[in-house]
């Protein structure tokens, strides 16, 4: 509906330069076709996945393009019961929450000290965090595994969360330093004169002001932690502690032989739901945060 | 005096936890990967044995490693080039054109960037699935059955199939970065060019690309590094390195050397190789894309 309305307004609007009008009109149509094709390429696999999650196995085999004949909720039941998606999901929720708490508890005071206080070694520590932006990644997975094995930190959801938080630490500190620096110095000076302690200044004054930036961190953290695969694969060994990406990958392996596609697709949809909800609610925050990173980085 | 000690304790409270985490889980493993790459080490209980550069020499006589290096190189070239090109065009259209529905497209195109790589890998496995996949059945539908292929099972198509999956995932992410850059270009430039009769394509080439060049340079390095990490997940779920090792990439090889073959020293040598390679690539692409001082 709104699409046709836009077509009309696009074709009638540029009346000012008469000679350009047909050219612009054709140009807009070409652009729209280009965008619509891309939108289909992005959206279709996801729609197809949702449809397939309601199909029976034979329906999936027969025609991948058809609609499901009935809404087959059984796949979702199977995903929760036999494939234990619910358990994996619970682990993921736990790990995401712990990672977030650790990340915020560590990154915010660090960024405050580095962004707003003067002390010896500040430059060095700032550089250390900046270096952390570039080091890391999958190539340290082997020494990390050995270290955690030696310290008996493997197969432990708390330490997995600590590793997650560390992975996002450099970026978060970098982002927050920028925010912290933009707050006028008067706030602290006034508070200090009034006799407020450092803790009070940090928690009562600075953190409330930086709340928008904190929300950005939380949004980024959510997607990073909820979707993480390599570390969870390596650092968690027992099945009952695995997170949802690992659970799904396992399910994929099993279904290749069992050919029960339905519950796999149901599992994918179950994982997608929180992602879609968070994205819908906080899309602006996310892209704004990325833009800050893009422009400054 | 009292003020000073309070300040000191507060600084400690602020900085210590982060430094501990950073050292333990990031800096120490980085040092360790360099050090242990000079050892032969086959397992957790085993004592590492110093072998000097032997691991690195072995690497270049290891056919699987060389094949994985070639495959990684292919992906590191094709994926960033196509991703950044499409992202740049999209960003340009969605900021410069007056289309009313562009907000919708921004939202849609960015969406794949926040999906789990596992979800993406599973989804695209089914797109390429030889019998139930909708690529082949789509070809069937439009009467091109003879074009149908087992995309992930064919040595000629597997790398392209993986590359397209990675591009699908990443375009939106870089698009958002470029949109921010284009938003900060002064509209006067475009206006002046428009008055001089420059077409949108000319404006894209002569204004957008030069003005965004610094951001483009950063995203080139970002996306090359991204391929290294992402290819691990995509490959291990979609193909497992097959068919016949034709989609093996450096990270999957590193991982299997460490955790399937218990070749820890060798795996760390691969890690060091990757580390050094991505560092050199960053410098190289930085040099190649540097503009003459204007």
Looking at residue A74, its pLDDT comes to 86
Q: CB–CB of A113 and B123 under 8 A?
A: no
Which ipTM value was assigned to this complex? 0.89
Chain A interface includes B3 (CB < 8 A): no
CA distance B156 to chain A (A): 23
From CA B232, how far away is CA B243, in angstroms rounded? 16
**Tokens 């002390």, residue located:** A119
Give the minimum alpha-carbon distance from A296 to chain B in angstroms, rounded to a whole number: 9
Q: Looking at residue A198, what is its pLDDT? A: 85
Residue B231, domain member (yes or no): yes
Question: Does residue B143 lie in a domain region?
Answer: no
- Cβ–Cβ of B177/A291 closer than 8 Å? yes
Residue B130 lies in a domain: no
B96 part of a folded domain:
yes
Q: Do A39 and B267 touch (CB under 8 A)?
A: no
For position A289, what pLDDT does the model report? 73
Q: Which domain holds residue B62?
A: 56-118+150-293
CA pair distance A248, A228, nearest whole angstrom:
12
Decide if B36 is inside a domain: no
Structural domain total, chain B:
1
| Model pLDDT, residue A294 | 47
pLDDT digits (tens, 9 = 90+) for B33-63: 999 999 988 877 778 889 889 999 999 999 9
Q: A117 and B11: CB-CB below 8 Å?
A: yes
Tens of pLDDT, residues B223-266: 998 898 899 999 999 998 889 899 999 999 999 999 999 899 99
CB B231 within 8 A of CB B249: yes
Query: Does the structure show a pLDDT above 90 at B13?
Result: yes
* CB contact residues (below 8 A), chain B span 158-187, against chain A: 168, 172-173, 176-181, 183-184
Q: What is the pLDDT of residue A114?
A: 95
Q: Does B225 touch chain A (CB under 8 A)?
A: yes
Domain CATH for B171: 1.10.3720.10
Instruction: Give the per-residue SS3 of chain B.
Output: CHHHHHHHHHHHHHHHHHHHHHHHHHHHHHHHHHHHCCEECCCCCCCCEECCCHHHHHHCCCHHHHHHHHHHHHHHHHHHHHHHHHHHHHHHHHHHCCCCCHHHHHHHHHHHHHCCHHHHHHHHHHHCCCCCCHHHHHHHHCCCHHHCCCCCCCCCCHHHHHHHHHHHHHHHHHHHHHHHHHHCCCHHHHHHHHHCCCCHHHHHHHHHHHHHHHHHHHHHHHHHHHHHHHHHHHHHHHCCCCCCCCCCCHHHHHHHHHHCCCCHHHHHHHHHHHHHHHHHHHHHHHHHCCCCCC
Using alpha carbons, select from A162, A292, A291, A170 the residue that is nearest to residue A225.
A162
What tokens does A219 get?
């949004």
Name the residue among A139, A173, A230 with its Cβ closest to that of B274: A139
Show residues of chain A in contact with B268, CB under 8 Å. Answer: 142-143
Q: Which residues contact B274 (CB under 8 A, 6 or more apart)?
A: A139, B228, B250, B251, B254
**Averaged over B185-202, what is the pLDDT?**
88
Q: Would residue B16 count as lying in a domain?
A: no
In a domain, B187, yes or no: yes
In this prediction, the residues of chain A whose per-residue pLDDT falls under 70 are 1-20, 64, 136, 291-297
- Ranking A99-113, A217-231, B89-103, B280-294 by mean pLDDT, the lowest is B280-294
How confident is the prediction for chain B on average, in pLDDT?
Answer: 89
| Contact: A105, B15; criterion CB under 8 Å | no
Please provide the size of chain A in residues.
Answer: 297
Nearest-CA distance B121 → chain A (Å):
9
| CB B87, CB A22: distance < 8 Å | no
Q: What is the pLDDT of residues B114-145, one digit of tens each?
A: 899 999 999 999 889 888 787 887 787 787 77
Contacts of B183 (CB under 8 A, 6+ apart): A291, B95
Does a structural domain hold residue B23? no
Chain A residues with beta carbon closer than 8 angstroms to that of B272: 139
Contacts of A61 in chain B (CB under 8 A): 131-132
Interface test with B, best of A16, A47, A134, A140 (most B CBs within 10 A): A140
């Amino acid at each position: 509906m709104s699409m046709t309305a836009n077509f009309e307004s696009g074709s009638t609007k540029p009346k000012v330069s008469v000679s350009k009008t047909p050219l612009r009109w054709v140009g807009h149509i070409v652009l729209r076709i280009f965008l619509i094709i891309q939108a289909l390429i992005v959206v279709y696999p996801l729609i197809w996945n949702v449809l397939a999650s309601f199909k029976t196995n034979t329906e999936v085999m027969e025609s991948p393009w058809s609609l499901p004949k009935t809404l087959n909720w059984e796949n979702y039941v199977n995903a929760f019961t036999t494939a234990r998606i619910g358990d994996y999901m619970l682990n993921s929720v736990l790990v995401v929450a712990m990672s977030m708490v650790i990340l915020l508890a560590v990154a915010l005071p660090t960024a405050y000290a580095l962004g707003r206080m003067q002390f010896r070694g500040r430059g060095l520590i700032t550089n250390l965090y900046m270096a952390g932006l570039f080091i890391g990644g999958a190539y340290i997975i082997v020494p990390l595994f050995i270290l955690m094995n030696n310290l008996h930190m493997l197969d432990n959801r708390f330490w997995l969360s600590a590793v997650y938080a560390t992975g996002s630490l450099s970026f978060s500190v970098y982002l927050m330093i920028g925010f912290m620096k933009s707050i006028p110095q008067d706030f602290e000076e006034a508070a200090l004169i009034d006799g407020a302690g450092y803790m009070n200044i940090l928690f009562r004054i600075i953190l409330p002001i930086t709340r928008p930036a904190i929300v950005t961190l939380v949004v980024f953290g959510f997607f990073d932690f909820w979707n993480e695969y390599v570390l969870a694969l390596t650092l968690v060994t027992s099945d009952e502690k695995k997170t949802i990406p690992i659970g799904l990958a396992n399910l994929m392996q099993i279904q290749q032989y069992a050919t029960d596609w339905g519950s796999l697709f149901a599992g994918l949809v179950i994982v997608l739901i929180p992602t879609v909800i968070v994205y819908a609610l906080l899309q602006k925050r996310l892209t704004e945060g990325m833009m800050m990173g893009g422009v400054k980085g | 005096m009292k003020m000073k000690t309070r300040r000191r304790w507060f600084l400690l409270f602020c900085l210590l936890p982060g430094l501990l985490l950073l050292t333990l889980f990031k800096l120490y493993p980085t040092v360790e990967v360099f050090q242990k790459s000079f050892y032969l080490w086959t397992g957790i209980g085993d004592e590492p044995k110093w072998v000097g550069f032997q691991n690195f020499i072995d690497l270049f006589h290891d056919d699987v490693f060389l094949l994985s290096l070639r495959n990684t190189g292919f992906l590191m070239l094709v994926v960033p080039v196509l991703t950044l090109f499409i992202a740049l065009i999209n960003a340009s259209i969605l900021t410069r054109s007056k289309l009313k529905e562009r907000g919708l497209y921004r939202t849609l195109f960015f969406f794949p960037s926040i999906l789990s790589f596992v979800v993406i890998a599973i989804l695209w496995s089914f797109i390429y699935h030889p019998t139930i996949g909708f690529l082949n059945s789509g070809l069937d539908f439009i009467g091109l059955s003879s074009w149908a292929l087992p995309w992930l099972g064919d040595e000629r198509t597997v790398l392209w199939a993986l590359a397209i999956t990675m591009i699908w995932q990443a375009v939106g992410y870089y698009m958002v970065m470029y949109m921010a850059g284009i938003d900060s270009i002064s509209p006067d430039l475009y206006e002046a060019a428009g008055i001089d009769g420059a077409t949108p394509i000319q404006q894209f080439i002569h204004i957008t690309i030069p003005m965004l060049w610094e951001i483009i340079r950063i995203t080139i390095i970002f996306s090359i590094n991204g391929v290294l990490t992402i290819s691990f997940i995509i490959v291990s779920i979609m193909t497992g390195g097959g068919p016949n090792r034709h989609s093996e990439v450096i990270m999957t090889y590193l991982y299997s050397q460490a955790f399937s073959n218990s070749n820890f020293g060798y795996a760390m040598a691969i890690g060091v190789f990757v580390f050094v390679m991505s560092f050199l690539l960053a410098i190289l692409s930085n040099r190649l894309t540097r503009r003459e001082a204007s």
